[in-house]
Chain A
């Protein structure tokens, strides 16, 4: 094996700088101390998310995520938001499919205030009805705007069919009707189940020592309950393979979504599948479907496919948009490329190129404090281990041509997909 360059061994150098900080109360965070820029970036995640919303409560976690800065502790909504501005603190919460995420970015000189605001947001959010109504109306406004927006229409239709009967069928931001039925008790109940120390993961990058961080962890998170009340969602496999749904929209372009079951992150073949998918649909400007759909035929501005490992299902999922008259041609080209990959796999040359990209580009995930913190958080959420950055490129290096051929057959072999199209495609 040849010597790694400095950038290829970036993962190893990152791994060596990660400190596991455990507070006096036992709250753990991964920290990289970095003093070049006077800021602190913190990312954290609670297990839960839209998959835990419950029947008829689509959008509940998303709505809650918009309420933490709408009044908390001694501050009403206006006072809280003015403080964020006055101290230039960025505090955001977001409801994902499988978690409630949060991020805090503060100047070092305002870190005290930043940590205090985060603490009261997590522990003492008011969730009052005026704020709930206001944030609900904002989300419903966004949903109304996307009702005839082709990307949203096509993607939501895909998930609704693939996961009918499962929590993953509902959009993370909910629906206009489901949101209308949510009340303050629902919000308090999901906050109570979600905001707990049990599945809490925390990552910090910036100008703060391990000792100082340990104290702050207890102050911010120490009063949260130990046990999470989040229920475990059932595993699910995407359905509807071989089916197609066309949603009529009066626009000149057809927005196509296609997909089939993929792999969970802990699947032994996941890395081989990532390499294979990079060749098929992942690498922008270089993938097979990019070359065939965009470069050779000018069918679309954007076309890609990716692997989406959710907690309880894996997906191979992609999309493109092309004028209505050529929608069938574009979809046929994509189907042909998927079939070709399933039958023959990649070439040795493609494999080498893909591995070189996936190994070389790992360093680019570590070039800002916020990006590094997000990486450290993801390692914890996905339970990959604190030494993963050092091992990661070796795992990709070890993928063989046979691995990619086998995984292409396994993943894409049946060739049947669920397809949704928003627009007025001709030829179907």
Chain B
């Protein structure tokens, strides 16, 4: 497929005097705007012993300011018929509202206010910490599969904070307090560290004066805060993680490797890795699914993924769910055989099929202003550029079969993999 037909949205970016970056993504089909603020800090920037603070602060950002006390912003968004939420990832934290376009300025006024003027009282902080602990109980502590994933990540990254859960370890969440949150807030919630993304029925001519009137009023604090993370050493060992639990009725297999990210990658390796993940594990026509599910009938599901959008070295993973009566060792051997054979089995046709699908997704993405806002916001928040995002279809299109074979051989080696087994604990 030619990449020229993936028309690129007409995107504008500029910086306010205080250093805050602004991005405008036009979509004039409906009178709606998506307003997002991204902060270039995530869970991997949590200070030592305070895992979960980025995510906890994200919750506390809804507790109000002197000007707009607790609940006022959310109540107003609701009355305006808008939607809002926030999310924390390893490398960034973001807040968004989707509203009718005439309310954009109001969103900017409130969001910029809480960037600089958050007020926290213990009577709000303590119950919210309980909410986060319930969130952890819900997402992780009640789910053996999620507990295994957490342990696999902690094993894959022995030194880098990508090994810590975004939500934090329970015993550290329990100690987080108001002072921790405010210290973290003062360090990271600055205009130099923030990106405003507005997507929808607006133009830069409308957004710029509004941004100057709101976010532009916040004083620059000097340099943007720096990410300071411990680097991951090369680990020459294969590691195995097993979790057995009485609640497991369906065992599963997963295997992780360290791989370069979009930011650390050299020689377009990240694009070859994206294609590799698609060819071996993206959907029912992928190699893993075909081999394990359709041909060998060992598994009911199988796939692969690669988290390319990351500041530091990142993860590439494969997974499979065995059929009844098939043990995980058999699954593991079948995946090893498939990956070892890739230099002989990867075909041009598979490469073209993967590229077509991936490049078409860039067209589908243009159907949603919220999706575009997320794509550009996350790329910029990890240190990429708008040009990087727009060049992505061409970069994908340029990847050769030799490059895909090369990254598979270089990164997906069994002798340095971290393997996770989820097993049923049998009654004694």
**Minimum C-beta distance from A374 to chain B (A):** 13
Interface of A is mostly: mixed
Partner-contacting stretch, out of A34-42, A49-57, A119-127: A34-42
Tell yes or no: B78 within 8 A of A by CB: yes
Number of interface residues of A (CB under 8 A): 74
Tell yes or no: B180 within 8 A of A by CB: no
Residue of A whose beta carbon sits closest to that of B141? A252
Given A81-B283, A134-B294, A298-B130, A360 and B81 contact (CB-CB distance below 8 Å): yes
Tell yes or no: A85 within 8 A of B by CB: yes
Interface-centre pick from A7, A38, A86, A357 (highest chain B CB count, 10 A): A7
**Minimum C-beta distance from B7 to chain A (A):** 8
A7 and B102 contact, CB distance less than 8 A: yes
B5 and A145 contact, CB distance less than 8 A: no
Given A85-B285, A88-B357, A298 and B78 contact (CB-CB distance below 8 Å): no
A363 and B100 contact, CB distance less than 8 A: yes
Please report the C-alpha to C-alpha distance between residue A36 and residue B129 in the assembled complex, in whole angstroms.
45
B131 and A301 contact, CB distance less than 8 A: yes
Which residue of A38, A81, A252 is within 8 Å of B142 (Cβ)?
A252
B368 and A141 contact, CB distance less than 8 A: no
Tell yes or no: B301 within 8 A of A by CB: yes
B81 and A362 contact, CB distance less than 8 A: yes
**Minimum C-beta distance from A354 to chain B (A):** 8
B367 and A81 contact, CB distance less than 8 A: no
Which residue of A321, A356, A367 is within 8 Å of B81 (Cβ)?
A356
Which bracket fits the contact residues of B? 35 or more
A137 and B290 contact, CB distance less than 8 A: no
B290 and A298 contact, CB distance less than 8 A: no
Given A5-B102, A82-B285, A357-B81, A77 and B129 contact (CB-CB distance below 8 Å): no
Q: What 1/0 mask marks residues of chain A from 168 to 209 whose CB sits below 8 Å from any chain B CB? A: 000000000000000000000000000000000000000000
Tell yes or no: B242 within 8 A of A by CB: no
A137 and B323 contact, CB distance less than 8 A: yes
A250 neighbours in B (Cβ, 8 Å): 246-247
Please report the C-alpha to C-alpha distance between residue A107 and residue B361 in the assembled complex, in whole angstroms.
10
A249 neighbours in B (Cβ, 8 Å): 142, 247
Tell yes or no: A297 within 8 A of B by CB: yes
Q: What 1/0 mask marks residues of chain B from 75 to 93 whose CB sits below 8 Å from any chain A CB? A: 1001111111000000000
B78 and A357 contact, CB distance less than 8 A: yes
B141 neighbours in A (Cβ, 8 Å): 251-253
Q: What 1/0 mask marks residues of chain A from 359 to 381 whose CB sits below 8 Å from any chain B CB? A: 11111101111100000000000
Given A301-B134, A323-B134, A364-B98, A356 and B367 contact (CB-CB distance below 8 Å): no
A39 and B81 contact, CB distance less than 8 A: no
Residue of A whose beta carbon sits closest to that of B365? A37
A285 and B74 contact, CB distance less than 8 A: yes
**Minimum C-beta distance from B81 to chain A (A):** 2
Q: Which of A272-324 contact B (CB under 8 A)?
A: 283, 285-286, 294-302, 321-323
Please report the C-alpha to C-alpha distance between residue A77 and residue B81 in the assembled complex, in whole angstroms.
45
**Minimum C-beta distance from A279 to chain B (A):** 11
B356 and A87 contact, CB distance less than 8 A: yes
A88 neighbours in B (Cβ, 8 Å): 1, 356-357, 359-361
Please report the C-alpha to C-alpha distance between residue A255 and residue B134 in the assembled complex, in whole angstroms.
11
Tell yes or no: B120 within 8 A of A by CB: no
B250 and A144 contact, CB distance less than 8 A: yes
Please report the C-alpha to C-alpha distance between residue A7 and residue B1 in the assembled complex, in whole angstroms.
37
A6 and B75 contact, CB distance less than 8 A: no
A145 and B32 contact, CB distance less than 8 A: no
Q: What 1/0 mask marks residues of chain A from 113 to 146 whose CB sits below 8 Å from any chain B CB? A: 0000000000000000000001001101110110
26 contacts between A and B (CB under 8 A): A6-B100, A6-B102, A7-B102, A10-B31, A36-B28, A81-B283, A84-B285, A85-B285, A88-B356, A137-B323, A138-B301, A141-B250, A145-B249, A252-B141, A252-B142, A253-B138, A283-B78, A285-B84, A298-B127, A299-B130, A323-B133, A356-B80, A357-B81, A361-B81, A361-B83, A367-B98
Given contacts A298-B128, A367-B29, 14 further A-B contacts (CB under 8 A): A78-B285, A86-B352, A88-B361, A134-B297, A145-B321, A148-B248, A250-B246, A251-B141, A252-B137, A286-B75, A296-B127, A302-B138, A358-B81, A364-B32
